[in-house]
Amino acid sequence: MFGCNRKQWAISSIPNLSGHVAIVTGGNTGLGYITVRELARKGARVYMLSRTDTRALAAIEKVKGELGPELKPEIEYINFDLLSLKSAKKAAETFIQRENRLDILVNNAGIMATRYELGPDGIEIQACNGTGHFALTVSLLPLLKETAAMPDSHVRIVNLSSVGYLFTYFGKPDFSSLEDLNRNRSTWVRYGISKLMNILLTNELQKRLAESGTTNIYCLSVHPGVVDTELIRGPLQSWPILAPLAKITKLFSVTPEQGALTQLYAATSPEIEEKDLKAALLFPVAQLKAKASLAEDKDGKLGSDFWALCEALMRQKA
């Protein structure tokens, strides 16, 4: 595991990002909010992609207030609903109309441990943690490749996963059809499968980029740790009786500022390229973690099935 003998990576280590453009999904709260703020602090123009206009715009004003007018932070908003493939594609098209480069894409948005429900595209809503970010990322891929071809580019795609992907061992994932994806498994198994999808997206992106001759885009998966964020809403809606335990859990959770460190490291640190961390899985703080066999996907079947299913869903829904 690299980094065990070095000082813990900190926000102060983020390099100057002037001239860089970034996207952060789910940027109006929690880990996404901190990621937006710190990328903007270092000079990047940051796009906050979020579902609710009022919350996003209020969050942008809050970030600007925290950073102060002297920094002149550049933060813009684009509507993005993780549950809708059409929304993801439209968000990407809107971004491409506004910008001619994209250096950092942080797929941060997500839900956890929600009750079984189908979203507007007929996809189980936790599975949208994977399908929604696939639709956004693939729609942005031509611009990401164009940026990677520019001089002195450092393009990163960071997908927020979770150690919860290990829950998949209690319910074998199957991406051969929408019906299999939508199977009503237990709440936590469905969450685990969605987080496995985030890792498979990272793996497949890196492989397909290499096959296309693009070798300088770095794709990474990140587990942020146990963080005190609004993700707890899902479990509390599923099991209201857990409310007292949620207060206890807070005692063992890190703050969003601490939780965002690993995704900020993945998005900005020169070490990613120095150590050639392609398709890597990172745990807190900024530590390389070996993937379990399902996530390693050595024969590529899970990843290729996931990719093919998402492409089919986009043709049908987006």
Q: How far apart are CA 39 and CA 268, in angstroms?
A: 9
> Could you tell me where the beta strands, DSSP code E, fall in the chain?
21-25, 45-50, 74-79, 104-107, 155-160, 217-222, 280-283, 287-288
In which residue are the tokens 């809606």 written? Answer: 237
In which residue are the tokens 């969450």 written? Answer: 191
Q: Which of 33, 191, 218, 265 does the annotation list as catalytic?
A: 191
Distance from the first to the final alpha carbon of the chain? 41
Find out whether 231 and 256 touch, Cβ atoms under 8 Å: no
Residue-level length of the chain: 318
Angle subtended by helix axes 301-317 and 128-148, to nearest 10: 90
Find out whether 293 and 68 touch, Cβ atoms under 8 Å: no
Whether 77 is catalytic:
no
Which helix or strand (DSSP H or E) is residue 260 part of?
none
R_g of the chain, CA atoms, integer Å: 18
Q: Which of 195, 207, 278, 291 does the annotation list as catalytic?
A: 195
Q: How far apart are CA 293 and CA 277, in angstroms?
A: 18
Cis peptide leading into residue 24 (ω within 30°)? no
Whether 191 is catalytic:
yes
| Residues designated catalytic | 191, 195
